[in-house]
Amino acid sequence: MKRFIHILLLVITSTSYCQSSGILSGKVTDSLTGEPLIGATIQINNTTSGTITNEMGFYQIQLKYGPSQLKVSYIGYTQQIIEITIPDIKKLDIPLVLSPVQADEVVVTVDNPKENVEGIGIGNVELSMKEIKKLPALMGETDFLRIIQLSPGVQSANDANMGFYVRGGGADQNLILLDNVPVYNPSHILGFFSVFNSDVIRSTKLIKSGMPANYGGRISSIIDITSRDGDFEEFHSQGSVGLLLSKLTIQGPFVKNKVSFLLSMRKSYIDEVMKPIANSMFDISSTFYGNTKYSFLDINGKFSFRLSPKHNLSFTAYNGKDDFSLIKLEPDFSNSMNWGNQLYSLNWNYHVNADWNIQSTLGYTKYNFGLDASQKNVFISMKSAVNDYIFRTEVSKAGYNGQIIKFGAEHYFHKFTPNNLDASTNGQELAFGSNRNLNAHESSLFYNHEINLGTRFRLNLGARYTYYMHVGSYYKIIKNEIGEIADSIYYEPGEIVESYQSPEPRISARYQVNGLSSIKASYTLNKQYIHMVSSSAVTLPTDVWLPSTSLIKPQWGQQYTVGYYRNFMDNSYETSISLYYKDYYNQIELLKGIISNFQDNIFEESATFGRGYSFGAELFVQKSVGNFTGWVGYTLSATYRKFKEINQGKIYPAKYDRRNDLNVVVSYDLNKKWNASATFILASGNALSLPSYLYILEGNVISGYSERNSFRMPLYHRMDLSLTYLARKTEKFESSFNLSVYNVYNRANPFYIYFEITGNVYDYNLKITPKQVSIFPILPSITWNFRF
């Protein structure tokens, strides 16, 4: 391999000597803080060719011999015109001065059409909040997780679900990071809304293949979310008032140019709005609604400190909560559930000098679910929780010729409580033996090297090495031949019960055919040491996370990708076609439900392990500049599972196997005041298992099943529209209205299928009819957004 690279270098360097042009490279920075400016434009004056700085603020541009004029610009900064002569100058750092006019603070990720061809990222999706806010929103609430599900290779489970599947991977194989700290359950109300308030998000990035080595711990994808810093100059407020929820964000400086804050709160008033509507629409007893309460709340805070030009510190806090209660549905009966995430992240960024940067994170994240149910003298309470303590440090070094080296270390201490169950009947405690925590350490080292080999080749070589330990306290149960508990071994807190270690190679490469097209390929191997076991066919708050133990082996997967990227019409159209093949090992499935049977609460024993396969092709066309923007994504794919103990060991389609998936997103600026946008989805139905025969026992109809997931839901399609009107925009005040219509032509998409049984066995008139339940008919909504 090394020799191959040498030869390659020789070939490339020798060819470049023959050219009558030279390469200019350097870094664009903030003149005051020295902070690299990502996505700054360097344009050869009076031409359309140019380049954009990379994530370290570096640029590289090919210029003809002789004098050239460069226009360097970045939003919020004063534009600079620079005259240089090639080959006299080969290296040039360009500091830009902050523009005296206040920058439009919503501007986030600068669209960079050239990244499609020039970047090494294969199958990455970056979203700018400004664009997302124009798109149709369910009940008027902009949700980037819903938008991400409109990109190729990503699919949602169904209408009301934030659980999503990336290229056939499970819902637990996506790592969602908020300021470098994972969020375990991203959904409110079972997935109608995500926990991410769009007003506090600066940028989001989805990586579905070619995952660099600085990311790890999950097999299928990374969603990296960065929250916004508060304004260091002035105070601002912004917010929105919608039909079901409202939110308010305030931000500003504590100490001008030194310390800023951003506080945001979002609260739902769903039950107040929906109860009267539901009561008038449905024939369900009003007491049912009267005794039901549901609400959610999100609080985000961020404090940012510019300690010195070299040191930046920020502290992010998030707290979200869902509460649901149902009282007196029947005499003496009550039930309440609550769940939520808590997250803290302290990030310290140290710009050592123009080339070196060190970012360190200290974080804590928690997801907990609690349920209390009682009926007269029987009480049941169930709790499950995930606690992660995180330390992470990442050193990056930028070198000339576009090199980026990243290395670092990451440590997670997982403290999982799979299900703490307490139950009593008439004062007598029942012993469930499940009141235990499962603790584990996950330590990783990573190294990632991105390098240009000549002008056309860019290579990213990386590796990750993880050492994982399941530690006490823990009772390891030893069983005899007939499956009875014979003995148990106790492990002291911190004592190693089981350990795993392994390297994860990551390789990706780009070959630039010309200025407008490139070919990219990648191979990655990912290990995942934690698992989510689901009691149901969709992700619910009751889903339980488990770390690897001696019975649950780490899951892992490999992905091979190749893609062709081509830009058209002066980079205004970006297109790509990519092919992937993935295989997964040690995938977990429960043979019994978590809740349906409390008496088997040692999950490891009801778990079974198997393999998964998925492959597909993705087509993507995007236009991100001009009045008319949007994308079309099409995915053709297949996903299978194979478990020894399921479907008699035969291969079967995964529940989220989806043959065809088409997404269209368009947005058009009619003028400065009006924007119209639309989204359209067309997808094959999900696979599901349905009974194929029945029999009668004790008067009950018992369903018999044959092949797993051998049925298909009907086709899913839906169109959403939205119209945004910018009522007023001045430097001090901005006000806009968004009218969204969800499911414009009122398609009844299947949410689930069930069987209605009528008649009676004993009267000999039994009849079974399949029924489809749909949610979300045509739903118009209006939201007022403001900022001052």
Partner 1 sequence: MKISNYIFLLIFLFIFACENEVKIDLIEVESKMVVEGWIEQGKGPKILLSMSAPYFADIDSSTLRQYAVTGAKVTVTSEDTSEVLTLKPNSSYFPPYYYYGTVIKGKLKQEYSIEIRYKGYIYTAITTIPDLVQTDSVWFDKANLSDTLGLIVVKFKDNPDVRNYYRTLTRRLGKDTKFIPTFTSVFSDESFNGETLEIPLSKGNSSLLDIENSRYFEVGDTIVLKFCSIDKQHYDFWNTIQGQIQTSANPFAISNTEIKSNIDYGLGIWGGYAASYDTIIAK
What's 689's DSSP letter? -
The angle formed by the CA atoms of residues 409, 410 and 411, to the nearest 5 degrees, is 130
Nearest residue (CB) to partner 1, 1 versus 277: 277
Which amino acid is residue 423, in one-letter code? Answer: A
Q: Does 481 bind partner 1 (CB under 8 A)?
A: no
Return the residues of window 291-320 that contact partner 1 according to CB under 8 A: 292, 294
Stretch that binds partner 1, among 44-52, 173-181, 308-316, 752-760 (CB under 8 A): 752-760
Q: Is 706 in the site for partner 1 (CB under 8 A)?
A: yes
Task: Output the smallest distance, CB 779 to partner 1, in A.
Answer: 8
Residues 104-163 that bind partner 1 (CB under 8 A): 160
Residue-wise DSSP of 351-414: E-SSSEEEEEEEEEEEEEEEEEEEETTEEEEEEEEEEEEEEEEEEEEEETTTEEEEEEEEEEEE
Quote the least distance from Cβ 201 to partner 1, whole Å. 25
If one asks whether residue 751 binds partner 1 (CB under 8 A), the answer comes out as: yes
- Find where tokens 């939003």 sit: 75
Residue closer to partner 1 (CB basis): 712 or 729: 712
Least Å distance, CB 165 to partner 1, is: 16
Which are the contacts of 457, defined by CB distance < 8 A and separation ≥ 6?
8, 12, 509, 510, 511, 512
Q: Is 540 in the site for partner 1 (CB under 8 A)?
A: yes
Q: Interface residues for partner 1 in 753-782 (CB under 8 A)?
A: 753-755, 757-762, 764-777, 779
- Segment interacting with partner 1 (CB under 8 A) among 13-21, 168-176, 495-503, 534-542: 534-542
Residue 487 as a binder of partner 1 (CB under 8 A): the answer is no
Name the DSSP letter for residue 102.
P
252, 710, 739, 744: residue in contact with partner 1 (rule CB under 8 A): 710
Indicate the SS3 state at residue 761.
helix
How near is the Cβ of 752 to partner 1 at its closest, in Å? 4
Considering the complex, state which of residue 319 and residue 606 has its C-beta at the smaller distance from partner 1.
606
Looking at residues 226 to 265 of the shown chain, list those that interact with partner 1 (rule: CB under 8 A): none
In this structure, the dihedral spanned by the alpha carbons of residues 270, 275, 281 and 287, taken in order and rounded to 10 degrees, is: 150
Between the alpha carbon of residue 399 and those of residues 166, 340, 355, the distances in Å are: 33, 43, 7
Q: Which residues 8-37 are close enough to bind partner 1 by CB under 8 A?
A: none
- Alpha-carbon distance of 346 to 230, in angstroms, equals 15
Residue 432 contacts partner 1 per CB under 8 A: yes
b vs e for 350-362, b when ≥16 Cβ sit within 10 Å of the residue's Cβ?
bbeebbebebbbb
Q: Name the one range near partner 1 by CB under 8 A: 271-279, 455-463, 513-521, 555-563.
A: 271-279
Residue with tokens 């404090």: 303
Task: Using the minimum distance from each CB to partner 1, give the nearer residue, 161 or 439.
Answer: 161
The neighbouring-strand residues paired with 67 are: 85
Binding residues with partner 1: total (CB under 8 A): 105
* Binds partner 1 by CB under 8 A, chosen from 103, 106, 189, 248: 189
Rounded Cα distance, 387 and 417, in Å: 8
State which residue, 564 or 752, has the beta carbon closest to partner 1. 752
Site for partner 1 in 191-220 (CB under 8 A): 192
Least distance to partner 1, CB of residue 265, Å: 21
Rank residues 251 and 686 by Cβ distance to partner 1 and give the closer one. 686
Q: Does 478 bind partner 1 (CB under 8 A)?
A: no
Return the bridge partners of 608, or none: 589
The rounded distance, in Å, linking the Cα atoms of 16 and 22 is 9
What tokens were used for 12? 């490339």
Q: What is the 3-state secondary structure (H, E, C) of 709-742?
A: CCEECCCEEEEEEEEEEEEEECCCCEEEEEEEEE
Q: Which is nearer to partner 1, 480 or 599 (CB)?
A: 599
DSSP structural state of residue 98? B
Comparing CB distances to partner 1, the nearer of 41 and 417 is 417
Return the structure tokens found at 231.
């304004």
Query: Should residue 69 be labelled a site residue for partner 1 when binding is judged by CB under 8 A?
Result: no
Per CB under 8 A, 84 contacts partner 1 = no
Among 403, 502, 549, 689, which residue sits at the site for partner 1 (rule: CB under 8 A)? 689
Judged by CB under 8 A, the stretch of 301-309, 323-331, 456-464, 731-739 that binds partner 1 is 323-331
Smallest separation (angstroms) from partner 1 to the CB of 255: 44
DSSP secondary structure, 503-531, as one string? EEEEEEEEEEEETTEEEEEEEEEEEE-EE
Give yes or no for residue 270 binding partner 1 (CB under 8 A).
yes
- Residue 430 touching partner 1 (CB under 8 A): yes
Q: Is 280 in the site for partner 1 (CB under 8 A)?
A: no
Question: Whole-number minimum distance, CB 701 to partner 1, in Å?
Answer: 6
Measured CA distances, 225 to 43, 145, 237 (Å): 29, 11, 22
42 binds partner 1 (CB under 8 A): no
Q: How far is the CB of 644 from partner 1 (least distance, A)?
A: 14
Whole-number Å distance between alpha carbons of 227 and 363: 15
Quick one: which segment of 360-368, 373-381, 556-564, 629-637 binds partner 1 (CB under 8 A)?
373-381
Q: Please report whether residue 651 would count as binding partner 1 according to CB under 8 A.
A: no
Instruction: Rule CB under 8 A: choose which of 93, 707, 715, 725 binds partner 1.
Output: 707
Asked if residues 29 and 96 have their Cβ atoms less than 8 Å apart, the reply is yes
Restricting to residues 581-640, which ones interact with partner 1 according to CB under 8 A?
Answer: 590-593, 595-599
Comparing CA positions, the residue from 81, 151, 15 lying closest to residue 622 is 151
Instruction: Using CB under 8 A, pick the residue from 5, 380, 676, 682 that binds partner 1.
Output: 380
Complex with partner 1: residue 331 or 626, whichever CB lies closer: 331
Distance CA 378, CA 426 (A): 6
Q: Does 692 bind partner 1 (CB under 8 A)?
A: yes
Neighbours of 487 (CB within 10 A): 9
The torsion angle over the Cα atoms of residues 233, 237, 239 and 241, rounded to 10 degrees, is -170
DSSP strand pairing (652-653 vs 700-705): unpaired
Per-residue CA distances from 779 to 129, 269, 740, 744, 747 (Å): 23, 17, 8, 8, 11
* Residue 373 lies near partner 1 (rule: CB under 8 A): yes
d(CA 380, CA 349): 47
Contact between 477 and partner 1 per CB under 8 A: no
* Residue 652 lies near partner 1 (rule: CB under 8 A): no
Q: Which of 507, 537, 617, 638 binds partner 1 (CB under 8 A)?
A: 537
Q: Does residue 378 bind partner 1 (CB under 8 A)?
A: yes
Q: Which of 89, 274, 317, 463 binds partner 1 (CB under 8 A)?
A: 274
Q: Is residue 690 a contact residue for partner 1 (CB under 8 A)?
A: yes
548 with 561: CB under 8 angstroms? Answer: no
State which residue, 327 or 513, has the beta carbon closest to partner 1: 327
Residue 752 interacts with partner 1 (CB under 8 A)?
yes
Residues 6+ apart with CB under 8 A from 195: 183, 185, 186, 187, 188, 298, 318, 320, 341
Q: What angle do CA 109, 111, 115 make, to 5 degrees?
A: 110
- Residue number, 501 or 597, with CB nearest to partner 1: 597
The yes or no reply on residue 486 touching partner 1 (CB under 8 A) is no
Is 393 an interacting residue with respect to partner 1 (CB under 8 A)? no
The two tokens of residue 475 are: 């009772």
Amino acid code (one letter) for 482: I
Cβ-contact 448, 212 below 8 angstroms: yes
> CA dist 291 to 270, 329, 377, Å?
14, 7, 20
Smallest gap, in angstroms, from Cβ of residue 719 to partner 1?
A: 18
